[in-house]
Amino acid sequence: MDAALNPTPRILEVDSLERFDELVAGGASSMSGWHLQSVDFTERSAELKALDPSGSMFLGCQLQPGMEQSLRARGALVFPVLPDVPFNAYQPTLYTGPELYAGVETTPYEDTPDARIYAWTQRQGRRGVESAIAAALHDHHIGDALHDALATLAAGRRVVGVMGGHAAARGSSTYDDAARLGRDLAAAGHVVATGGGPGAMEAANLGACLSAAPIEALDEALARLAVVPSYRPSVSAWARAALTVLAEHPEATPSLGIPTWFYGHEPPNLFASHIAKYFANSVREAVLLEKCTGGVVFLPGAAGTVQEVFQDACENYYAAPEAVTPMVLVGVGHWTEELPAWPLLSRLASGRGMEGWVHLVDTVEEAVEVLG
């Protein structure tokens, strides 16, 4: 449909008190079209009373008693902070690892925000309307935050996905290969995106994180992390080891992680600087592949990685020729014998626009070369 026949409303997102003050100082008299999200307005009641709120929307903002009723009476839509929910349903920005793991340096992982949110999902069972609305609102706003973040993070660059198994242990050759892949992709100017979890995903984010540092820094980090090879039995110890590495590299290269609380037993890794964590795994999978405009590298993995291979293949199969993105499977033996996805993938690609865009290689170095 012609965009002119299907216009979208022009809105102004206000997600900080500083932005609100700037608009007021600039002479604003009306808030029509403003979306004010997760802002503490308890010290700005006078300003809110002076502005015309008709046509504005307040999402999870803190207000003085009586102000909510005042805004509604004057034409604003006010969505309150949701009670008994351990997260911000109107999350204005992407998460960071230290934010999700707040306090893990001295307390168990089970006491962190990330763990408490996962525990909340498990207690819901067949969730009521309030819980379902909270989760859906959260995922919607995370999608908005991801769009905004990529406008800066990926400006002029391609996003390349790295998919692989969560079970790859620190200290293993699989983990080290994934770290080298992440480093080389980031050094080539790509934004590395992963599923944001442990294993190969953590390794790729780690490699990207340290891509501007000497190779010796990555080798040192790999050796240090290998002392705690897995998040089992202790997520706390696993996370603390990552934090020691991050503490030594404050100027890390940004990368993206898109994990999910659906797989709450797989904690998010700390090496992704931008974390878009979703409740709905189906949304998370679709978003992850959609954002990988530069293609996807599939490292050896199991069911989850196989699912991602063919989900991406389906998108490419039906895509316009100009919209096809590269798919690179790493590990000839793995993808032709252990889990023979390659014969089916190559057969699907035959005669289609994607035919020249699917590749099977044996090393991560070859994968980087294919992507350019």
333 lies in some domain: yes
How far is CA 15 from its chain centroid? 19
Structural domain containing residue 359: 157-371
Spell 88-120 as b/e; 16+ CB within 10 A means b. Answer: bbbbbbbbebeebbeebeeeebeebbbbebbeb
Looking at 61, 79, 97, which one is the last position of a domain? Answer: 79
Q: What per-residue confidence (pLDDT) applies to 333?
A: 97
CB neighbour class for 285 (10 Å; exposed up to 12, middle 13-18, buried from 19)? buried
Looking at 28, 49, 79, which one is the last position of a domain? Answer: 79
Contacts of 185 (CB under 8 A, 6+ apart): 160, 162, 192, 204, 207, 208, 297, 368, 371
The owner of tokens 């803190």 is 62
130 lies in some domain: no
Looking at 79, 110, 134, which one is the last position of a domain? Answer: 79
Mean pLDDT of 189-218: 97
Q: What are phi and psi of 234, to 5 degrees?
A: -130, 105
84 lies in some domain: no
Say whether pLDDT at 8 is over 90. Answer: no
Domain count for the chain, please give it. Answer: 2
pLDDT (tens digit, 9 = 90+) per residue, 313-360? 999 999 999 999 999 999 999 999 999 999 999 999 999 999 999 999
CATH number of the domain at 320, please. 3.40.50.450
107 lies in some domain: no
Count of Cβ atoms closer than 10 Å to residue 312 Cβ: 25
- Residue 332 structure tokens: 């000839």
Q: What per-residue confidence (pLDDT) applies to 3?
A: 39
* Same domain (yes/no): 224, 366: yes
The owner of tokens 């790859």 is 168
Q: What is the pTM of this model?
A: 0.90
Q: Which residue has the higher pLDDT, 141 or 8?
A: 141
Prior bond to 233 cis, omega within 30? yes
